[in-house]
Chain A
Amino acid sequence: MLETRYLLVGSSHAALEALAAIRMHDAEGSVLLATRDTAPPYSPTVLPYVVSGKSDPNRVRLRSDDFCEAQKVTLRSGSALASLDTAAQMARFADGTEVRYERLLLATGATPAIPKIAGLTRVQYHVLRTLDDAVRLREALGRARRAVVLGGGLVGMHAAENLVHARTETTIIEMQPQVLPGYFDAQAASLISGAFAERGTRVLCGQSVVSVAPRESGFALKLLGGERVEGDLLLIAAGVRPTIGYLSGAGVATGDGVLVDRRMRTSASNVWAAGDVAQAESFLQGGRRVNGILPNAVEQGRIAGMDMAGDPGARDYRGGVPINTYHFFGRQALSVGVDSLEGCETHVQVDEAAGRYRKIVLKDGRLAGIFSIDLPFDAGVMVELVLRGTDLAPVKQAFLENPRDTARALMSRLWR
C-alpha cells in the first residue's frame, strides 16, 4: 500500500495546475500523480491537431522530462482509478495498487459518449480522447475514402475538416438542428456549416442513427428518416461524459459529473474534483453544470490545489463561463458567454457575403455573451468583463461598433 499526502488522479490541465498550486504553498508534501495514460501529460484539446498532422505527437507533452523530479512528484501511469473508499481515504487502481491519501483530487476528465445504436458493436469505429486514439485515427484517415462523423461538436468538426483536406468524402451527422450546439447560435452555425458544404461535405443536422451494419469494406448507417449512409471510416464524436465510474458506492455526490462547491470540494471530506469531471457552479446560467473546457479546467485545478494545500490565498470559483475558440478553414469563430438570457438585449451584425458575423448579448448593460466569425476579439478580456460584471453603459456605442478595441482600452484602465 502506498501513502501520500496528495493524490492527484489525472494528468492533464486540471491536475497539473492543481499540482502547481500545491507546490506554491507546500514545497515538500508528498504528491502522487496517477493517470490511466501511459503517455507523458498532454491535453485532449490538442488531439484533433495530432490527427491533422499539425501537431507532432512527440511534441505535445505539457511538461518536460525533469518535471516530476523538479516538483518532487511521484508519477504512476498506465492504470486507471478503479474504486474509492472515502471513509478509509483509500484509492484502488485497476492494477490492484492501493493508495492511502490525505487529500485527493479527482481530475479524471471525460470519456467519449457512445450513443446507443443497434449493431455498433459489430463495426469498427473511432473515438478521439487519447493520444493513442489520435494516432490510430490519423493512420485510418490516410486509407479512408468515405467517412462518417457522428456528432457536429468541436471534435467532430475538426475531424471533418481533416477529412476534407484528405479529400475524403465526408458526412457529418448531428442530432441537434445545427452544428456546434451550445457554442454558437443557429446563424453562426450555418455560416460554419456552409464552409463545409462549400467543400463538398454533407452536413446532416437534426438526424440520428438508428442502426449500423458492417459492409464488405466498411459499414452502412441507417438514419431515423430512413436514409442510408455508407462509409469506411466511422468517427463517433457525440460528446463526452465525465469519467466517474470508479465512484460507484464511494459516497461522493454526483450529477452529470462530480458535484463540487466553489472550492472544488466534493461531498466527501478530503476529496476535490476539477476539470472535465467536475460539475461546478455556472456563472451565467446558475446552478452547477459540467463545463468541460480547457480554461475552466485550469481555473478549477488551481482553486482545488490551493484549497488542498491550505493556501490562505485560495479564493472561491467565480463560476464557469462557456467559452470557445474554433478555427476552421483558416477562419476563426469565437464564443464567450451565453447567446440568450432572460431580459437581455442582442445586437447582431452579419456580412453574409464576407462570412462575417458578430453577436453581442448584454444584460443590464453588462456583457453576457459575445460571438463572432472572422471579426476577432480578445476572448480573455471579454471573459473578464463578464466575470467582473463591468458596466458597459458609458461605452456602449463604442463597444457595439468595435468591441475588441473598446474592451482592450477598458481593461487596460481597469488593470491600471
Chain B
Amino acid sequence: MAAYETIAFDAARCTGCGDCMSACAQEKTGGFDHAASRIQILPAANDGFELALCRQCGDPGCVSVCPAAALEKDAASGVVRWDETKCIDCLLCTVGCVYAGIAYDERTGRVAKCDLCGGDPACVKACGEGALRHVKSAQIYNRYGELEDLFVPGLAGCQGCNTELLIRHVLRAVGPETVVAAPPGCIPGMGTVGYNGKTGTKVPVFHPLLTNTASMLAGVRRTYKRKGRDVTALALAGDGGTADVGFQSLSGAAERGEEILYVCVDNEGYMNTGMQRSGCTPYGAWTSTTPVGERSHGKTQEAKNLPLLMVMHRCAYVATASTAFMEDLYDKLARAIEASKRGFAYLHIYSPCTSGWRFPSQANIEVARKAVETGFVVLWDYTPDAGLRFTRPIDDLRAVDEYLEAVGKYRHLDAAQVAHIQAQLEKDLGLLKELAVRGAQAEARALA
C-alpha cells in the first residue's frame, strides 16, 4: 500500500493568525472569507488552537458512506477526491468523518474538503510560524516500497527495535548487486546471515569475524572491480565490531580508500549478548559491565566519537543519522551509496535499543528524537571537499535531562553526572561547530 504526503499541524506553534485560512479561501474561492477555507483553525477551550482538516485517510470513512460514489481515494496522490458531478449533497460524508475534514459549506450549499492543492498546499506556504508542515516523507516510503526487499521475511529483532526496518531499507536502496557483511551482533542475531545452511537475505551475505568486516569487504569489492563488475560492498555492523575490536580493519580500509559502504548501527554497546559496554557507550550509562553499585555509577569514560574519527580518515563521505529523522537518513544513505563507488563511505546511525537501554518498546522513535533534540546526538555530514555541515540546526537544543530521563540506563545519574554530560556535550558541540565553520569556508572558497 502506498504512503502519501500529508499536512502536519504543530499546535504548539500555532498563533491563530488565520493566514492559512485566508490563503485557502483565496486559493479555492478567490476571496478571503475564512468560512470558505477548507482548513479551519479553532480556538481551543483553554488556550491555543486546534485544527479541522481532511486527513486524507488511508481508509476514509467519508468514502465508505458515500452512496453516490462521489468520493474516492486517489491511489496515486492519496488525496480523497470529491466529484461534484456525482455528489447528491446528502451530507452522509460528514457523518463518516470524525475530523470535520469534509464539511458543509453554507455559501455553496455543498460539501468542501482539502485537496492538498495538487501537491503544493497554499495554507502551508502561508504559515509563517511553522505550525503547518507539508510532510513529504511518504515519497521516500513509496520509493523504498517499490524497491525489492532483499531480506527474507521474519527476521527476529526485539520488540520495538528499529534495526530490522533500517537494514531492510538500506538494502532496498543499495539493491541486488551487493555483497553484505554483517559481523556478529544484533543484525546477524536477528537472522540476517541465516542458520544451518539457510540464508537470511536474497543477496550474498557473509558473517565475518567481529574484527574484519571492512577488510574482507575490501577483498570482495576489489576483486569484482578488477573483473569489471560494480558490486556494492555493504557492511551492516554494530558499534562494538566497528569502534572496538573491528576498528583496525575499519581504519585500514578507510585509509586505503577502499570502496565500501559501511553502515554502523550504533546502539551504544554489545546489545546482542546482553548489554555489555563498548567504546561507544556514553559516560554514565548503565551496562552489564558498567553496573551501578555502591562504588560505581555506570560508565566512567566518554564514548568514542567514531564518526569524527572517520572524518580524520578523509573518507569520501561520513555522516551521522538517526532513526527519528528518516528523511535526513535517506538523503545521507543516497549520498553514501554514491560515495561508496569512489571511496570509503561511512554512515553512523544512532539506533536506540529498547531492551538494553531500558525504555518501553513503543518509545524508540521518541528516544531517538530526543537524543537529537537535546544535542546528545548531532546530525551532520562530511565530504573532503565541502567539509562538515550540520544537517539539522543546533541552535535551539533542549536540556539533556529531557533525553536522559527517557532512558532507563541513565536512571541512576546524580546531578553531578548530568552536569558532566551537559558540559561534555557542549564541548563536543564546540568542536563540531569549529569544523563546520571550516567546512563552510572551504565551500565558499570552492564556489569563489
Contacts and interface: CB of A to CB of B under 8 A. Distances in A.
Contacts of A380: 61, 94-100
Contact of B98 (A42, A45, A384, A416): A384
B69 interface: yes
Interface in A359-388: 376, 378-381, 383-384
A229 interface: no
Interface stretch (A29-37, A119-127, A402-410): A402-410
Interface of B: 11, 40, 42-45, 50-52, 61, 64-65, 67-69, 85-86, 88-92, 94-100, 103-104, 106, 109
A13 B50 CA distance: 33
A404 B35 CA distance: 13
A298 B45 contact: no
B35 to A, nearest CB: 11
A55 B88 CA distance: 7
Nearest to B44: A409
Given A42-B67, A59-B69, A60-B86, 18 more contacts: A45-B67, A49-B68, A49-B90, A54-B88, A294-B92, A325-B92, A325-B95, A379-B91, A379-B94, A380-B95, A380-B96, A381-B98, A381-B99, A404-B100, A405-B40, A408-B40, A413-B44, A415-B99
A295 B61 CA distance: 9
A329 B90 CA distance: 12
A412 B52 contact: yes
B91 A332 contact: yes
A410 B46 CA distance: 11
A379 B99 CA distance: 10
Given A61-B69, A376-B104, A413-B44, A330 B94 contact: no
Given A327-B89, A408-B42, A381 B68 contact: no
A306 to B, nearest CB: 12
A408 B333 CA distance: 41
Contacts of A341: none
B65 A325 contact: no
A42 B99 CA distance: 26
B109 A330 contact: yes
Contacts of A394: 45
A45 B42 contact: no
A62 interface: yes
Contacts of A334: 91
Given A49-B68, A381-B100, A327 B91 contact: yes
B80 to A, nearest CB: 14
Contacts of B68: 43, 46, 49, 55, 60
Interface in A11-55: 13, 17, 42-46, 49, 54-55
A295 B63 CA distance: 11
Contacts of B98: 380-381, 383-384, 411, 415
B61 A43 contact: no
Contacts of A410: 45, 50
A253 interface: no
Contacts of A59: 69, 85-86
B87 to A, nearest CB: 9
A381 B98 CA distance: 5
3 closest A-B pairs by beta carbon, nearest first, are A43-B67, A412-B50, A45-B67
Contacts of A327: 89-91
B45 A325 contact: no
A243 to B, nearest CB: 18
Contact of A298 (B44, B64, B97, B100): B64
A59 B64 CA distance: 17
Contacts of A416: 11
A224 interface: no
A375 to B, nearest CB: 9
15 contacts: A42-B67, A43-B68, A61-B69, A62-B69, A325-B90, A378-B52, A380-B94, A381-B99, A383-B98, A408-B50, A409-B43, A409-B50, A411-B99, A412-B51, A415-B98
B64 A409 contact: no
Contacts of B40: 405, 408
Contacts of B94: 325, 378-380
A17 B64 contact: yes
